[in-house]
Structure 1
């Protein structure tokens, strides 16, 4: 029940905003695709939270403190969902999901500059928090690999493509990146997923976490749309998480 309630808390503002976008003609709204987006998000979250039980990594590496199995399960779920949808519909393809190594001409240097800005702001926030270094080998390895592989393949990859079919819009050009209604909704949900939940049966909201993860999510979205690929967002995401461990 708590998981279902948390899911509702995450999606309620997204639904409201999607309807508002449609009313003011910022975007369209396709209910079937919108329900599909909600379904793949539910599968993704279930894989992170429960799917690790199907992956016996703890039997081979005892004493793991991080959710390796859950992340591996969610990555596998994302790739399987992508494969199924790519066969079933033309709306989901390697190009629409950014599953390509090809970068748009002239996009790499601006994208790297944004990643440096994001990583620098992450280090600055860590210094402000002054919560000490976290340099355990397992943490460093995890932060250097799992966050980007998991969250970029899903949020700025498959999920962005599906939500783009659900709320189609022309978007606006922001310094060479086309920011669409779908991109804004993905960023909102990314922030809410890190800052809204239920604890001890009571809902909580952390505006700081929503703002911080929303900032990083939007920056990584910009890189994704500027380059046309999830490659640099993936690497940048891991760099942000990894570098923050040292401050």
Structure 2
């Protein structure tokens, strides 16, 4: 478990160095307070994900669970607490600012549906060539159809995106109608690094294909979030892609 924490925070260090470089190039401004808040939220996320079973011991009631339900549920509780804290203490904050709304930006539904379908097709192709054996058991399908989107999207494309956009301030770059900022793009990079840079038994493991693939997925999810102004499409897309990845 300690190895996982070392890898995670080494990846955060990469983002920190890139942010300083961008600051030196006058591409971003850094707000120290919101940077510390963002780091604190992410640190809590890591501990909730990896230590959630110590707080929510579902294995007591379900002895045969093979997926990290406890960690995911702990993260869902965490982002709920962060959302509550922002609503209570951040002046002028609305939960819509973090994507918690069913309302979609006008004209965004059709392009989001197209991207969603293409995203699922991409995952099907990737699964055909690089995935392992498909898993059809009920727990796996139920987990993949719910937990990934409900955990990672409100956290990475919701509250963390809101906070890091205040921590790393930059102009926005419009891509096919989605206003992307540097903070969001750095989160995409972190998302990829978390899945491709690992530390185990005193050795570093660097999986470029995992970084590129997961980073690309994170970018698509960020685009959906910014294009629609809502977490609805990112949550649906994330869960659909994960389910397809298990079926093929």
Per the normalisation by structure 1, the TM-score is 0.95
CA contact (8 A) 1:91 1:165 kept: no
Alpha-carbon distance in structure 2 between the residues aligned to 1:148 and 1:130: 20
Alpha-carbon distance in structure 2 between the residues aligned to 1:231 and 1:162: 19
Per-residue deviation at 1:61?
2.3
- Structure 2 partner of 1:144: 145
1:39-118, aligned counterparts within 5 Å? 39-90=40-91, 92-118=93-119
- Structure 2 partner of 1:30: 31
Taking structure 1 as reference, are residues 130 and 71 closer, same or farther at Cα in structure 2, changes over 3 Å only?
Answer: closer
Per-residue deviation at 1:240?
0.4
Task: Between 81-90 and 43-52, report the one with greater CA deviation.
Answer: 81-90
CA contact (8 A) 2:48 2:75 kept: yes
CA contact (8 A) 2:105 2:228 kept: yes
1:213-232, aligned counterparts within 5 Å? 213-232=214-233
- Structure 1 partner of 2:199: 198
CA contact (8 A) 2:145 2:239 kept: yes
Alpha-carbon distance in structure 2 between the residues aligned to 1:67 and 1:130: 20
Q: Give the secondary-structure state (helix, strand or coil) at the position aligned to 2:169.
A: coil
Alpha-carbon distance in structure 2 between the residues aligned to 1:192 and 1:167: 19
Give unpaired runs (5+ residues) of structure 2.
Answer: none
- Structure 2 partner of 1:244: 245
Taking structure 1 as reference, are residues 208 and 79 closer, same or farther at Cα in structure 2, changes over 3 Å only?
Answer: same
Per-residue deviation at 1:4?
4.5
- Structure 2 partner of 1:10: 11
Alpha-carbon distance in structure 2 between the residues aligned to 1:65 and 1:112: 32
Q: Give the secondary-structure state (helix, strand or coil) at the position aligned to 2:198.
A: strand
Task: Between 173-182 and 23-32, report the one with greater CA deviation.
Answer: 23-32
Task: Between 154-163 and 49-58, report the one with greater CA deviation.
Answer: 49-58
CA contact (8 A) 1:52 1:72 kept: no
2:173 counterpart of 1:172? yes
Q: What value does the CA root-mean-square deviation take over the aligned residues? A: 1.5
Give unpaired runs (5+ residues) of structure 1.
Answer: none
Per-residue deviation at 1:222?
0.2
